Each structure stands twice: as C-alpha cells, then as structure tokens.
Structure 1
Amino acid sequence: MRLPAAIEINEHDLKVVLARSFAKQQVSDCIVQRIEGLTDAQISKAIADIFRKEKIKPKPLLVCIPRSLVTIRNLYLPSHDEAEIQQMLQLHISRIVPYQKEEVVYDYALLGVDAMNSTELILAIAHRDILKKHMNIVQGADLYIDTMSLSSCAVWERVMFAQKAETNISELYLILDADVSSTDFIICSHDHLLFTRGMTLDIEKCVRENQIMRLTGEVRQSLALFHSEETRKNPSKIFLSGAPAIQQLEQVFKQEFEIPVQYVPGRVPAGATDYTSLTAVSEMALAKNTKRITFTLPELQISKTLRDRTKDITVLGSLAIYFFAILLLFFLGMSQREQAYLQRLSQHNAAIHDSIGSMLDQYHRTELIKECLAHRKVGMILLRELIDLLPDKIAITYLAIDGSGIMTLRGQSMQLSDVFTFISSLENSKYFKDASTKYTRTKKVADREVAEFEVTLHPETPA
C-alpha cells in the first residue's frame, strides 16, 4: 500500500509519521524510537522494520531536516531580478558559513520588498554531508526520498493552520516548538515565516529542574536578535507547540512577556515521551506546500529522475506488451473463427454429398454426355455453314482441322473468280475468321484449265 510518510532524524530520536492521504488530513500512525548510540546502518534497519511492519511503501516520502542542522539568515538585496539575486547569494554564503559553495546546499524564500525597495528574503544553508547522511540512511532502508524540507516551515504551517481563526493577517506571532534537546524560535505572520533561531535547551530540565528562567532568557535574546535584523513590531501572541510538557509553562510565559499565550496540541503516539515534538514531521506527512524551504541534492535529483524515467519506460513497455497481446488474441480469435467456419462448411458439404451422392454422379455423367454432344453439334454446324457458302462451281478436295484448331481447305474451280468469291464469303461468315489464302494456281486437266487453291481459317465455336 502506498501512503504519504515523513521521517525526521536527529541526534536523539527517529520519528516516522504515516498519513492516510493528503486529502484526508489524517495521521495513520506515529512512531518514535530512541537512536542514541546507533550506527547509520542500524538506523536504516529500524526504518525498514517500521515500514515492513506497517506493510507500507511510502509515496511520497518526505524528510524533515531539523532546524538545529541548518544555518539561517535574513538578507536584504538591492535587486528584484532572480538571476542577480542568485549571484548575490553566492557571495553572501561564502561570508555566512566557512565552507566552499560546492560543500553546501541552499534555498530561500522571498518575504517582500522593504521601504528602501530592497528584496527581503530568508536564506537557509545546509552542509551537503548532513543531507547525504540523511539520504544514505533512508536509501539504506531501500526507500527513496521525494523531498527534504526545513522543519521550521512545517511548524509554522501547522500552527497557522490550527489557529486560523485566532490569527490576524496584519499581526506577528511567536512560535516556540519544543523538542528533546532544542527549541525552535519562530517569528511569523499569517503569510510568511520571517525569522527562526534554534535554541539548544533541554525542555525536560526546564520543566523538572525549574530552569524556566534560562528558557525565557533565551527567548528574550532571540527577540533581541530578531529586532536587530528586522525593524518590525513585537509579536502579538505566543504559540507553544511540540513537546506536550511545554504546556506546563504557559502561565510563566504570560507573566514574563505580558502577551497572550496559547498551547497548540500536537499528535503524540503511545510510547513517545512528553518531551518529543512531532509538529514538523506530522505536518509534512499531512500536507503538500510549495512554499517550504527545501534542499535538493544533485545526487537525489538524478536518482529521482532515473526512477521516474524507469517508471515511464516500464509503464510504456507494459502498455506495448498489453497492446500486442490484445492484437495477437484478436488475430488468433479471427483465425480460430475462420477455421471453425471452414470446418462447419466441410461438414455441411460432406453431409450434402452423403445425401445426394448418387444424384451427383449421375449429374456428372449427364454433363459429360452433353459436352460430347455439344462438340459433335459444333462440327455439324460448321460443316453446314461451309456447304451453304460453297459455290456450285467449286469442289472441295481436302478438309482437315489440326490440334490448334486451324482448318485447312483445298479445292478446284473452273475460274479463279469463283475462288475469290468463296474466300470473301468465308471472311464474312460469323463462324469463320482469319481466312488466309495459301496459294492459287491453274493447271490443265484434259485440255481444260482448272484453278486450284488452299485456304486456312479459324472456325468459331457457335454460341
């Protein structure tokens, strides 16, 4: 079964959220496992075991990159052209992180234009090795990543969606998403994530050992950093999310910051501690969003392209095989129908032959007799025509028809003119054609001159 799924891997926990579908917006299951001290191969096996047990092949599979693993800065750039912005970002990245540009992967989100007509954006930079580690762990479980996105974006989406009725488009809000060893500090509006900072704090110690002042101090410091980079007003409300234990600090934040504070409940499965946040990973599994900051490894993009092309080729090949199979079945069916029809005709013919066998033999004999009589009749008709055309003064001395059907006539006449008249009559007859004179000559017989002739012609079979 293919369902959306999201994975988050940090130094303490492996989090897996399975959704019924993007459309239903319902979580099917949540799994949290401690992975401290495990190797990458062991984590891969744990992921594979989870999906094997659930009998799910995730599609799509989204990976949540924790805020603590990403460097984020707010920038103002004096350009609105995308190509120029990309060039400026290359220069800023080399100043922000101590890595070569080939060692990092970055993405950014546009926030608008400030009073100086500069483009405001939030830039996120992740080291390539961190992303490759996530990719290798997931691929080690025989799974393939569709998207890797920043956790802060998903937290912002989740809280704003859950508190849609409680937010105003013109106000700013502070979100504190608490996890086992870190808390994500987020300043946002209804439409944009404006600022985020990772605070390294053990939420369990803050709650159990009464280190709340350290947490509030970190929040005040983060607010000061926000105002040093952004000339914006203060947040109008604080939303607490993530680990359920942070709900215990709701009254403390109200007293410290003197603004409304509201806890946004998350989805915590049985077995997960009160100090684990599933806000980001659950939101990624539940909803698609093109505004998220995503990190695209070239290796991951190539692998995805190859999988898509392989899938297309497989589908095309399957369709071609199906088409040829249908054609083959069609022609085989036609051939079988023709053979069956021929067999039925043969059987019918045999039945007819059995029923009228003697009559058929008698018919063949009758036809043979008729054919013989017809040939004899032809000869009689031709002879009759020849007698009618023959003048009284001409005597036929020889008449023969050879195997090719050519008739030869020889005869005598007292005058040559009678011979020519006879030949003309033969040419005009409907029973003879191609009359040709072989010779005409005269000779003396008993002191008289006699004309001899020979004529060949083709007899026509009478209709």
Structure 2
Amino acid sequence: MSKDIPTAIAMTDNCLKLVRARYVRGQGQLTALDVRHVNGDTDADLLPALREFARHKAVKGGGAYLVLPRHLAILKVIRLPSQEERELRQMAEIQISSQTPYTTDEVEYDVQVISRDEEGYTKVLLIVIPKDVTERFIELAEQARIALAGITISSIGLLGWLRYQAGRTRVEAKSPLALCNIDLNHTEICFIENKRLIFSRNVNVGLSELRSSPDELIQQIALSIKYYESEKMGGPLSRFVVVSGQRDLQEFIGQLEGQLQMPCESIAPTDGVNLPRHLRQTVLEEESGLTLTAPLGIHFADRKQVVNLLSSSIRASKQNKVLKRELIKLFVCGMLLYATALFVWSIRLSEKEKQVERLRSAVSELDPQIDEAKRKMRLIEYFDQYVDGRIFVPEVMGQLAKLVPEDISLNSLYLNERCVFTIQGYAQTREALNDFQARLVNEPMFRKVNLEFATSRRIFTMQVTDFKFTASLCDEEAP
C-alpha cells in the first residue's frame, strides 16, 4: 500500500466519491467513505460537493488525491529506441506534438514503462492530460479549501485495485488480462500485463444501460479487445474480469463468455476489503451499483506506478498567486499616494496666512512619507511602462467569439510569449472550417494566419475535422 496516498476523491460524470483506506492486520480496510451526487460537471455543480468533502477529518489531516475520469486523458503506446529512464522521458516528450493535438507546453504528462526487448527498444505508455483540465480542478480545490497532494487518472486506480486483489489471490494476474469497471453511467476497460497498465478505454455505456440491454456494452468490449489485438499491444488475453457494484451479473457474464470465447468472472469492488458496519449501511446499501474501484485502488497501488500530473500546474498556480499579491500591493500603494497628495493639497488651500508657518512645519514632518510615496509612484510608473503594449485578452476573446461559425467547436486557446495565438478545435463540416479560416484572415487583429493541420476523424456516427490555427497578435513577433 502506498503510504504517500492520502484521501482519494474520484470525479465522475454523475457523482463525487471520497475514499480513505489503509491496511489493518494485513487486510485492506475502508476508513472513510462519502458520495455526493451532482447534476453535471460544471464548476457550479462540483464546488458544493468539494466543500462538503473539505470538512472531512480525512481531508483536513493530509489533503486529497484527485482521481480524474479516463476520458479526460490521452493514452498512447509507443516504442522507443532506448532503455534508460531519463532518455525515455525525453523521447516521449518529443512525441507529444505528433501523437496528440497538443504541444508539450499545453499538457501535463507522464511515462510508464510497459516492457523492454532484447533489441534495446522499450514499449512505454504515454499519459497526457491538457493543462487547462488540471488547472481547472486545482482552482476548484483551492476554492473548496482542499490541499491537493496529487492528480491522477482512474486507470491507475484500477491497476492498483487489481494489484491488491492479485495479492489476495482473488485474481490471477500473471498472464495478460482485461479489467472492465462498470460504473453507473460509464465503463472503463483496462488491459494489464505483468501488473502493468498497457492501455485503457472509456465507454459511455454504464450499469443503467446494461440492465436493459447488455448488447451495446458487449459490442464495445469486443471492439476494445479487437483494437488491443490489432495493435499488438500485449500478449493474448487469458481472462476478462468484470468489476461492478451490481452483484447479480451472472446472465451478462454468460453472454460475455460466449461472445469473447474466454473465461470471464465478476468481482465486487470491495471484495477482500473490510467494511465498517456504519459505512456499509449508510452508503453502500443505499448506492446500488456504486463502484469504488478507482479511488480504492489508488491506496493499494505501487508508489512507482502512481502517475502524478500535478507538479508543474501547481507551480504555475503559485506564480499566479504571487503576481496577484504584487498587483494588490501596487494598487494599495497608489491609493496611499493619492490620499497623501490630496491631504497636502487640501491643507495648503484651506490654511490661512497665519497658519502658513505651521503648515510648512507639518509638511516638513511629512517629507519622509512624501519621499516614500514618490518611491511608490516610481514603482507604479515602472509598472505602467511594463504593461504598456501588452495584449488585452478579453478583447481577443470577444473578437474571436464573433468569428467562430456555429459548426465550429474550440478545444484549446494558447498565447505564448512571442505573441503567437494558437486555436485548436474541430469542425462538423469542411465548409465551416473554410469559413472560419476566411474570417480569421480578414480580421485585422489576427496576422499571419496559418492552418497548421486539419485532420478528419469520426466520433461515433459523426465525421469531424480536427484543426489547429496559429496567428500573430503583434505587428512583429518578439525576437
């Protein structure tokens, strides 16, 4: 069990789950559990639940580890010509821009080794998540007054859960296997070999659809296995493990075995874990079908396998805080300077001739304060020169909003220090993409508009085109 993992908070599309576990006499024990249902994934939906979690003793004592849903991350299996850890990370970093629609500066990432071969190559799993996603959850945690210890994805929690069950001999994990975690509204399928995560996939079919018609989930499972085999990600699968809070899945397991032609078994998320009576009665019995696999597994994961996507985002957040504090200090200094000048001016006008000498004496006493105020004024003048000519982001965003056609969806906006503005998203029609490009070219604010790429892909039955534009917001790019 990883001693570095505090309370885990799992974010899903319909609820937030707070889980705390530990080993007691060699067996895992659940020590804290809370579930908060939400109506959506907006900040307004999530913040009240997070504030309730912040009151827990388990969170106050050591912070929390956020477990984000799989669909927020990008996972890529790549083969690299090295076996040295530092070189593998450098090579994987270079691959980010070609394997994902993001640049290295736009993402948090980590690399997990899958296997090494005799030819000197290493197969690794590249885990990428956009910075705007991590920064959003960092901001939510700060508003809720939760100290974050880390951010990871649900696939790592499922791997930790399997590791625990294998240690309890409840699951045979020596051969490659597939692990299917069925939640209320979605399902995550993980492929694992030698207790290492090879790949995972999120499917928008959950327990609610499974109860009425299991065919769609079985089809998605079969497609995932077909992709695993076609890409030769690992060895032949020996078994298929289904994890769900719903225990009466015998009929579904039978249908799945017939379709996959391999042994299938069903295990509850809390099998082999000691549950205190009050938690079992107040939460688990009321939440039929609830799965705690990912947040529970984080506590039992191998520390070396726990992906933490927090570090650089936290540094950026702290820098923003420092900048805000400095701006507030400058504003206060300016107000003090203004108040001091107004005070001196009003006294000089209101005092009579008999009070001139007294006024001069008073002003002489104020000289040190005036010198200090002048010093602060110079700071303000320097700050004014510093921000002069900077780009006003709200103006750019407002103008961009007028240019975006209806069939265009934007995923990412990024402005670098060279005044290069990057726009990424997808278009439902090619005509909408051409129209958007024409509008950008004709807009004086955007100079040197360039279409970096436009790639077609299919989202279920809809054909869309991913695109990336770059444009300069300055007359000349900074050297």
TM-score by length of 2: 0.57
Matched, 1:189 2:193: yes
Matched, 1:162 2:165: yes
Matched, 1:171 2:183: no
Distance 1:129 1:138 in 2: 14
**1:4–1:21 contact (8 Å) kept in structure 2:** no
Which SS does the other structure have where 1:86 is aligned? Answer: helix
**2:74–2:128 contact (8 Å) kept in structure 1:** yes
Matched, 1:75 2:78: yes
Q: Report the CA distance between 1:126 and its aligned residue.
A: 0.3
Distance 1:154 1:36 in 2: 24
Q: 1:19 to 1:171 in 2, by over 3 A?
A: closer
Q: Report the CA distance between 1:143 and its aligned residue.
A: 1.3
Alignment correspondent of 1:216: 218
Q: For 1:110, give the aligned amino acid.
A: V
Distance 1:272 1:9 in 2: 19
Q: 1:63 to 1:55 in 2, by over 3 A?
A: closer
Q: For 2:209, give the aligned amino acid.
A: K
Q: 1:129 to 1:258 in 2, by over 3 A?
A: same
Alignment correspondent of 2:38: 35
Q: Report the CA distance between 1:142 and its aligned residue.
A: 0.8
Q: 1:55 to 1:172 in 2, by over 3 A?
A: closer
**1:45–1:140 contact (8 Å) kept in structure 2:** no
Which SS does the other structure have where 1:230 is aligned? Answer: coil
Matched, 1:279 2:306: no
Q: Report the CA distance between 1:100 and its aligned residue.
A: 2.4
Q: 1:190 to 1:79 in 2, by over 3 A?
A: closer
Q: For 1:199, give the aligned amino acid.
A: V
**1:104–1:127 contact (8 Å) kept in structure 2:** yes
Q: Report the CA distance between 1:304 and its aligned residue.
A: 9.0
Aligned with residue 100 of structure 2, among 97, 107, 113: 97
Aligned with residue 312 of structure 2, among 274, 278, 298: 298
Per-residue CA deviation, residues 204-247 of structure 1 (Å, 9 max, x unaligned), is 1122x22x221111111111111122264321111111442683
Q: Report the CA distance between 1:73 and its aligned residue.
A: 0.9
Which SS does the other structure have where 1:6 is aligned? Answer: strand
**1:27–1:286 contact (8 Å) kept in structure 2:** no
Alignment correspondent of 2:28: 25
Q: Report the CA distance between 1:21 and its aligned residue.
A: 6.9
Alignment correspondent of 2:354: none
Alignment correspondent of 2:249: 247
Which SS does the other structure have where 1:73 is aligned? Answer: strand
Count residues with an aligned counterpart. 303
Q: 1:163 to 1:102 in 2, by over 3 A?
A: same
Matched, 1:128 2:131: yes
Per-residue CA deviation, residues 151-193 of structure 1 (Å, 9 max, x unaligned), is 1121122123213325556411110011223211111124311
Q: Report the CA distance between 1:196 and its aligned residue.
A: 1.4
Per-residue CA deviation, residues 287-334 of structure 1 (Å, 9 max, x unaligned), is 6622122212424257799xxxxxxxxxxxxxxxxxxxxxxxxxxxxx
Q: For 1:8, give the aligned amino acid.
A: A
Alignment correspondent of 2:89: 86
Q: Report the CA distance between 1:47 and its aligned residue.
A: 2.2
Alignment correspondent of 2:8: 6
Q: Report the CA distance between 1:277 and its aligned residue.
A: 2.3
Q: 1:240 to 1:55 in 2, by over 3 A?
A: closer
Alignment of 1:224-235 (within 5 A): 224-230=226-232, 232-235=234-237
Which SS does the other structure have where 2:55 is aligned? Answer: helix
- Structure 1: give runs of 5+ residues left out of the alignment: 306-463
**1:4–1:20 contact (8 Å) kept in structure 2:** no
Matched, 1:203 2:207: yes
Q: For 2:224, give the aligned amino acid.
A: S
Q: For 1:7, give the aligned amino acid.
A: I
Q: 1:100 to 1:54 in 2, by over 3 A?
A: same
Tell me which moved more, 53-62 or 256-265. 53-62
Which SS does the other structure have where 2:303 is aligned? Answer: coil
- Structure 2: give runs of 5+ residues left out of the alignment: 271-279, 320-479
Q: For 1:6, give the aligned amino acid.
A: A
Tell me which moved more, 120-129 or 232-241. 232-241
**2:77–2:233 contact (8 Å) kept in structure 1:** no
Alignment correspondent of 2:370: none
Which SS does the other structure have where 2:223 is aligned? Answer: helix
Distance 1:236 1:21 in 2: 30
TM-score by length of 1: 0.59
Distance 1:286 1:170 in 2: 18
**1:66–1:150 contact (8 Å) kept in structure 2:** yes
Distance 1:174 1:151 in 2: 15
Distance 1:246 1:40 in 2: 36
Distance 2:58 2:224 in 1: 44
Q: Report the CA distance between 1:104 and its aligned residue.
A: 0.7
- What is the identity percentage for the equivalent residue pairs of Structure 1 and Structure 2? 20
Distance 1:79 1:195 in 2: 21
Distance 2:73 2:113 in 1: 18
Q: 1:111 to 1:257 in 2, by over 3 A?
A: same
- RMSD (CA atoms): 3.1
Distance 2:13 2:262 in 1: 34
Structure 1 or 2, whichever has the larger Rg, is: 1
Q: 1:227 to 1:128 in 2, by over 3 A?
A: same
Q: Report the CA distance between 1:80 and its aligned residue.
A: 2.3
Q: 1:102 to 1:28 in 2, by over 3 A?
A: same
Q: For 1:33, give the aligned amino acid.
A: R
